[in-house]
Chain A
Amino acid sequence: MSAILEVSALSKTFKSGSRAIKVLDDISFQLEEGRSMSIVGPSGSGKTTLLGLCAGLDRASDGSVSLDNVVLNQLSEDDLAQLRNQEVGFIFQNFQLIPTLTALENVMVPLELRGEKNIAPFAKDLLSRVGLGDRFDHYPSQLSGGEQQRVAIARAFANRPKILFADEPTGNLDEETSDSIEALLFEINKEQGTTLVIVTHDDALAHKTDRILKLKGGKIVS
């Protein structure tokens, strides 16, 4: 099985006034296609920064990230956007649905960005799959937190990504809802054979993944 995500000697430094703060220091790992991995660690350990760099949302200070054999460092912002649209799915802690679009339209957006036609039936299927078959025309403000995250899951899988990044996907949800969201996430992931990278504080969720990457002070500790 080939590696879909290769991270090599990755560092990220932020400047705060005249001070340089190294948030990630010499991180290297590989993740094979179809596998799942969780990134855990205390607050401020660099989890979200690492996720952002792996997904091409930010640029590294040193080292490199290769996603599906594409070296991200060498890509322009627009190329990165295109890569995300073709290969990557996202799930956010605060759902990040577009408030001015209905649930159905939110799910259709990644496909529309790819220029695909007749996508409504597929998007409706996905929404039905996450249990929201009767909420197509509802706006995010008319949905509960759990329902919003379900829409986000449907949207994340809409472009059939090779890799899915989830940042604290259950961080804003109660335990019961969290369980059902986790179950749904892993179920669809398995169905579609997607690689999964999750940032979480939740040990139970982390233990459901194939591999756990533990960060502390910007370094891999295990």
Chain B
Amino acid sequence: MDKKTKIQPSKYSLTWPLKMAWRDSRKSKGKLMLFILSISLGIAALVGITSFRENLLQEIDNQAKSLIGADIEVKGNQPLPDSLMLAFYELAPEMSREVYFASMVYFPSTDGTRLAQVRALSGKYPYYGAIETKPAAAANEFQKGKYALVDEKLMIQYSVEIGDSVKVGEGKFKIIGRLQKIPGQTDIGATAAPVVYIPYNQLDQTDLLKKGSRVNYLSYFQFSSKVDTTGKWSKLIAEADDKGYRIDDIEERKEDTGRAFKDLTNFLELVAFTALLLGCIGVASSMYVYTREKVGIVATLRCLGMKSHQAISIFLIQVSIFGFIGSLIGSLIGVGLHVYLPELVKEFIPVDLEPTFSWLAVTSGIAIGVVVSVLFALISLVSLRNVSPLQAIRSDTESMKVRFDKIQLGVGLVIFLFLLGLVYLQIGDLINAAIFTAGLLATITILGLIGKGLALAIKKLLSDSIPYVWRQGLSNLYRPHNQTSLLITTLGLGTAFIATLLFMQDLLVDRVSITGAEDRPNTVLFDMQTPQREEIKQLTLDYDLPVLQEVPIVTMRLEEINGIMKKEAEEDTTVNIRDWVYDREYRITYRDSLIDSETLVKGEWTPRIEPGDSIFVSFSSGWAESLELEIGDEILWNVQGALIKTYVGSFREIDWRRVQTNFLVLFPEGVLERAPQFHVLITRIQNNELSARYQQAVVRSYPNVSIIDLELILKTLEDILGKIAFVIRFMAFFSIGTGVIMLISSIVLSRFQRMRENVLLRTLGASSRKLWKIIIAEYFFLGALGALSGLLIATILTTLLGKFVFEFVFVPNFGQMLVVTLAVTFMTVLIGLVNSRDVIRQSPLEVLRKEI
């Protein structure tokens, strides 16, 4: 038979798939609604965070000048020498000086004392932005007399009013203004270190600037438009840098601030991205089941003459439209989130943030939502092109399978590249983006494999001796059309994410908490001068307080390591010593023995040096590692002008979490005794009232001595951590929320598989009680196995993060793991039961009719 006539070309209408998509969606509203929800929370988080970041960077850009308050800021621990001062003055004739240091302040009106950041200022600083005070005029007035501006929160805390006085060292100042905001400072910064401004010309009155005191000298300059700075500026920076001064200009401050918040926004964006990805898996799993349900319809339509691409286009249109609706809803929630986010983080950011609507964030959010919906749906949808019309007359279940092929692998590759691109756009680093994306996809694959492995293991190991309902529930996990792999993946990923957040939060809190809670020292007195040492010791004993530790501290700089000075280290690319190793000020003590927070790990500890001996010092092992030091290396120190040659004698491991003075470098006795030094005393005070009285007594008699109240610091730290944890939890809600929707979605979609079996069991006479038990058994195993798989991933992830990022050893908290497992299992069983209630309550026929 070789005759062949031409087939008439089709007049196929392009709007028909659109019409079919709409018709088909009428009966699938519930399922598609879950699809919308899956995508919308992820998009909401993404749009909210992206808008917030754009807004923040824009404001940092707009308010850059007021972040620093001047064109340049020169900072050092010595006043600027005249030669440099003149050179700067040539380029920027307008200048202000500031000296700042930590000191106790005392409020006589209420008898309150508190460690504060004292800033003595002269000149018209800030040149950009303002020192905001109440009343506003106080910012300009305070330099005209013996006046002070005091941080508003500090005034409230100590019930101090305008007109009262504040004592700083020996000087007494009248408070003329409440300090509300200073350039570049965040609210949280003000809480941790409240500021007291006094006039620069009154600084001597405090009598606090002694040799060895830790003081910062700042000079602020404003450029003149008439002065040409070309070529001169970089030379001056190099010269100042050589002399140990740090120079900041507007661009650098802007970059620093932007960088600091880039880390925060990057983290939040990755949280948002994870929420989106969970949503995508929700989409993929919904579409897998949805597609499987549509095989019969497609087979019939193929019999009626529909081409394969037309079949795919119907469902692709549905996905695009519902993806668009989901993304649109998500974007609207995201805009709302963006309005709320600045309020949430306002204490952490140094700029005023007015939420502005970002079209870019909204449109890109919608576009990303539609693209990921389509891509993740395509994995299943492309398999519809293989549906044979023969499946309409051959209704055996095997032929109804959705088959996977090479095109799906291609779609998978496109998805990977798209996700990689998306992460890259967020974090701007291709290698890290690739690691993150590959890690996430590997996690999904591992969870999928765990699911498959478990199903196989149950099939092999399931014993007939197990009671019927449990056996039935368990066998549902491996029988045809099971959702085990999918549900283990979704449950596992959600659990892994939540558990990792929980573990990390615990570890970080544990890291800042201090060991030995009951009898731990809680008060540290520092900046004691040598003649004051015995008197303060006696005063402490008079108050019935123990002197737990009392150590001398000598400040010095590192001049050479094995004969290599800073300049040589900078010029020689083979030398790996960073600038800050030379620039930083080292606070070092000396003693003849190690204390209980120190363990000698290498070398030999020399307790005492006799005149003429080589000096062997001990380094913290961690510090020595970062400096790549070896035993015997030669270190030259500059002890406030005097050069001392030493050798690395030993390495000590230090437990930094103990409240005691720990030192990176420890000298033996017999070297530093005559060097200028100050002393630190550590004690423990049982109650607040005694603490206040003791602090007042110390500050009144020794105003140069500063007191750190560790309880107050811990409370502040807890407060700050609490606020950060809230931001993280708030964002994590989007991932957890998406996880829950994904879980509901997976269970709702898998209901169809179980429905027929349960109806059949009911028809055969199974009681409601038995059916409930079977359902509970199935979802109990699914929930528990999903949670345990997720916990396994979270444990691996936290261990890796601990080892490579935070440098701690993660010890799993089994109590916490049990709580997570129970919570996830309970939620899974609950959702499973809610979704299956129709099967139990209604007649089998009614259920089957409804399902179509």
Taking Cβ atoms with an 8 Å cutoff, the residues of A that contact B are 6, 8, 48, 51-52, 55, 57-58, 64, 66, 68-71, 74-75, 77-79, 81-86, 88, 90, 92-94, 96-101, 105, 109-110, 112-116, 139-141, 155, 159, 167
Contacts and interface: CB of A to CB of B under 8 A. Distances in A.
B5 A70 contact: yes
A97 B392 CA distance: 10
B231 interface: no
Contacts of A155: 304
B97 interface: no
A77 to B, nearest CB: 7
Interface string B799-822: 000000000000000000000000
Question: Which 7 A-B pairs give the minimum distances between C-beta atoms?
Answer: A85-B305, A115-B11, A100-B27, A141-B852, A100-B24, A96-B300, A99-B852
B27 A96 contact: no
B305 A69 contact: no
B304 A110 contact: yes
Given A71-B3, A94-B395, A167-B393, A85 B10 contact: yes
Given A69-B3, A83-B7, A100-B27, 7 more contacts: A57-B393, A82-B7, A84-B303, A98-B297, A100-B23, A114-B305, A139-B852
B358 interface: no
A142 to B, nearest CB: 8
B13 interface: yes
Contacts of B7: 70, 75, 79, 82-83, 86
Contact of B23 (A68, A79, A101, A110): A101
B676 interface: no
Interface in B1-16: 1-5, 7-8, 10-13, 16
Contacts of B28: 100
Given A90-B303, A114-B10, A115-B13, A99 B27 contact: yes
Given A92-B392, A99-B27, A100-B297, A66 B307 contact: no
A100 B5 contact: no
A94 B852 CA distance: 14
Contacts of A66: 1, 3
A130 to B, nearest CB: 17
Contacts, number: 130
A183 B850 CA distance: 31
Contacts of A48: 393-394
A2 to B, nearest CB: 11
B661 interface: no
B662 interface: no
A96 B26 contact: no
Nearest to A58: B390
A74 B296 CA distance: 26
Contacts of A68: 5
9 contacts: A78-B308, A79-B7, A84-B389, A94-B395, A96-B296, A99-B852, A113-B301, A114-B11, A159-B305
Contacts of A114: 10-12, 305
B144 interface: no
Nearest to A96: B300
Contacts of A101: 23-24
Most chain A C-beta atoms within 10 Å of own C-beta, residue among B3, B11, B23: B23
A17 to B, nearest CB: 14
A82 B307 contact: yes
Contacts of A71: 1-4
B307 A81 contact: yes
A105 B19 CA distance: 10
Contacts of B308: 77-78, 81
A57 B307 contact: no
Contact of A90 (B27, B296, B304): B304
Contacts of A167: 393
Contacts of A109: 301, 304
Nearest to A66: B1
A140 B852 contact: yes
Contacts of B8: 82, 86
Nearest to B393: A167
Contacts of B302: 81
A68 B849 CA distance: 40
Contacts of A88: 305
Contacts of A98: 24, 297, 300-301
Nearest to A9: B1
B13 A96 contact: no
Contacts of B297: 98-100
Given A100-B23, A112-B19, A81 B306 contact: yes
Contact of B1 (A64, A90, A110, A113): A64
A5 B609 CA distance: 113
A138 B6 CA distance: 39
Contacts of A74: 4
B185 interface: no
Nearest to A139: B27
A110 B301 CA distance: 8
Interface in B499-535: none
A184 to B, nearest CB: 20
